[in-house]
Amino acid sequence: MGPFAWAINVPLIAGLLLTPVAVARFGQMYRVNIAGYVIAVLGRLAVAASAYAGSIPLMLVFSGVASIGMSPLQGTLNALIAEASEHTYLRTGKRIDGLMFSCTSLGVKVGSGLGTALAGWLLAASGYVGDAAQQPESAIQMLYVMYLWFPVIANCLILLLLTRLDVEKANKQARAQAA
């Protein structure tokens, strides 16, 4: 786990440092986030291919690539929440900033808890035994699904949602209509 944690977190930190530069250069969080998640999806697919090829070094490299792709959204998430809140204000005239940040904070906490519980439930359902010298094939297959395919699916869903989340453009249009 240690090498994978390094392969994910070091590129994520580097990507977070570069995110403001990318947003300034390309002018929109929307574009940077979509480009990042295209990289993330391709990186996670490459992790899966590397795993089936039996290459842990390639899995490490492509985990880093995927992590770099995910970093722009990590770095701009609070700004996107603020933009979404501003959109509500422009449409309704009511400020809901505190509510937006509270809801997203709750969502992160509930999601983290459910994700951890789901991992345990899926491993238990697959017959995983923590102290066993050898795991049943069903547990090995569940580990493949959980580590390889769930992240690919999650990244694809996030990419799909990001393509629908051009709140910067919507706010620009709302401001122009109000003026």
Mean pLDDT of 26-35: 92
pLDDT in tens, 83-128: 999 999 999 999 999 999 999 999 999 999 999 999 999 999 999 9
pLDDT in tens, 49-79: 999 999 999 999 999 999 999 999 999 999 9
Q: How many residues does the chain have?
A: 179
Proportion of the chain above pLDDT 70, given as a percent:
100
pTM of the model: 0.88
- CA 99 – CA 85 distance, rounded (Å): 9
Domains and CATH numbers, the chain: 2-178 (1.20.1250.20)
State the DSSP H helix or E strand holding residue 155, giving kind and residue range, or none if neither: helix 150-163
- Please give the pLDDT value at position 22: 95
